[in-house]
Structure formats: structure tokens, C-alpha cells
Amino acid sequence: MHSVVVVPTYQEAENIVAFLTAVREAMPNSGILVVDDNSPDGTGELADKVAADLADVHVLHREAKLGLGSAYRHGFGEVLSGELFGECDVIVSMDCDFSHDPASIAGLVASVDNGADAAIGSRYVRGGGTESWPVHRRLLSRWGNRYTSTVLRLHVHDCTSGFRAYRATALRAIQPSSTDAEGYAFLTELVRRLVGGGYEVVEHPITFVDRRYGTSKMSGRIIAESMLLVTEWAAQDAWARLKEWRRTPRTAR
């Protein structure tokens, strides 16, 4: 299956060259799209230099830091248009800081090749895990994912993992360009649309390794906003179910 890896970047000068080299080694025939939000440290320019030497690597230079969801919406749209890489079967999303191991891309793509519509690199299924995380961060992540999965009825253990492979037809069908969320909530919104649309979502175990270089872009504010949005979606879903129940004849309840 022809795959394309989409990676948003901001201030990743210490990682981008090694990352692109590692992805190319792991997936020699995959396209790679870097979506850079005008990184002041020159990440985009470094990516351009690598792209000049490696085949099928493109860099989108955006005007400012516009957010993770915005970067993925832009990147997915470019790939799905077919203008940069032609028709592709699978679109992979991942981080640039080596928290997601490029060697694991093949396993996610294989899950889609075997019939899944989306494969999530999961920290919270058997065989998955995290390295170098303090206890409070592990607990917060586990609690947040458990809450999200429960209130949205997703039956997915790791709703906020950004390491994923999507069948291109499924990703096109759920229309990521029409989403509004950012950060963790954007990732959850895509899972919500996939599950709601009846698409098969599987989880592939990965080990998440905390970054060695650079700083995380996530903050307490983003986490809080994501949880509030998840709660709002859950309320909307509950109201929709109630209205449907009221429309159902009493004899059929």
C-alpha cells in the first residue's frame, strides 16, 4: 500500500534531520509531508535541505503557529488532493520528536492493509507503554483517555495518541477539514467521527518515549480545553440519544 507520513513541526530543529532520515530508512517507499508553522529556529529550512536530498519529501511552510489541529487539517488536505504524492492508500500521522518510533510505522500500516480503517498507536493496550514519564503524567493521561472513551462511548483505550495510520478513503469520508478542535481534542474528534461512522478502528501497541530534545508544545490550558470539549460532545450525544428515544414509539422501546 502506498503511504504518506504527515508530521506537523514547530521548533524541532534538533530533531527534524534525524527524524526525516529515520522515517525514510523505515519506510523507503513512503512519501513524507512536513507541515511547519514558521518555526523561528529554522526547522522548515532544515527540512527543505533534507527534502532536496531525499525523494518524495515535501515541506509546507505556514505563516505562523496555528495549532496541531490546523496543521493536520492542512496536511491531510494536501495529501488527499493527490497533487503532491498522487493517489495514496494510507496516511500516517506522528510526532517529530521521536516519542513515536519510526520503526513502528510499518505495523500501523500493516493493520490497515489487513482490513482496519484506522490503526492507533496505543500506549494503553497489552504490549504498549510509556518511558521516562513521571507518575502524575501517566495518571493524568490514563485518566483523561479513560474518561474520554467512556463518556463518548468510543471503546478506544488511547484516544489522544497522535501516532496513527488512516485508510485514505476513511479519512476523506470523515472530513477532517470540517473539524474545529485543536490539540488532544482534535485527535479525539477524528476517533469520534470514525467510530460514529461505523469505521473499524484498531489499536496497535507502541511504547511512547518522552522527547530528548526540544520542549513539549502541550500545556495545562490545552488539556483543560480538550476535557471541556469532550464533556460538551458527550452532552450533545446524550441529548441526541434522548431525542431519538422520544421519537421511538412506546411499543418499540
Judge whether 13 and 43 are in contact, CB under 8 Å: yes
Region 220-229: mean pLDDT is 73
Residue 179 in contact with residue 186, Cβ under 8 Å?
Answer: yes
Give CA–CA dist 94/20, Å, rounded: 12
Contact call for residues 15 and 102 (beta carbons, < 8 A): no
Q: Per mean pLDDT, which range of 114-128, 131-145, 236-250 is the poorest? A: 236-250
The residue-averaged pLDDT of 104-109 equals 98
pLDDT of residue 218: 52
Backbone angles phi, psi at 131, to 5 degrees: -125, 145
Determine the average pLDDT of the residues in 21-44. Answer: 97
pTM: 0.90
Identify residue 223 by its one-letter amino acid code. Answer: I
pLDDT on residue 216? 57
Region of poorest pLDDT, from 2-6, 7-11, 223-227 = 223-227
Residue range 182-191, pLDDT digits in tens: 888 999 999 9
CATH code, 3-248? 3.90.550.10
**In terms of Cα–Cα distance, which of 142, 147, 192, 173 is closest to 76?**
173
pLDDT-derived band at 240 (thresholds 50, 70, 90) equals confident
**pLDDT over 90, % of the chain:** 75
The owner of cell 517507499 is 29
214-221 long-range Cβ contacts below 8 angstroms, 24+ apart: 214/11, 214/12, 214/13, 214/14, 214/15, 214/97, 215/11, 217/10, 217/11, 217/68, 218/183, 218/184
* pLDDT of 178 strictly over 60: yes
E strand segments, the chain:
3-9, 31-36, 57-61, 90-93, 118-122, 129-131, 164-167, 201-205, 207-209
* 128 Cβ contact partners less than 8 Å away, ≥ 6 residues apart: 121, 122, 158, 203, 205, 206, 207, 208
Please write the tens of the pLDDT for every residue from 33-67: 999 999 999 999 999 999 999 999 999 999 999 99
The per-residue pLDDT for 108 is 98
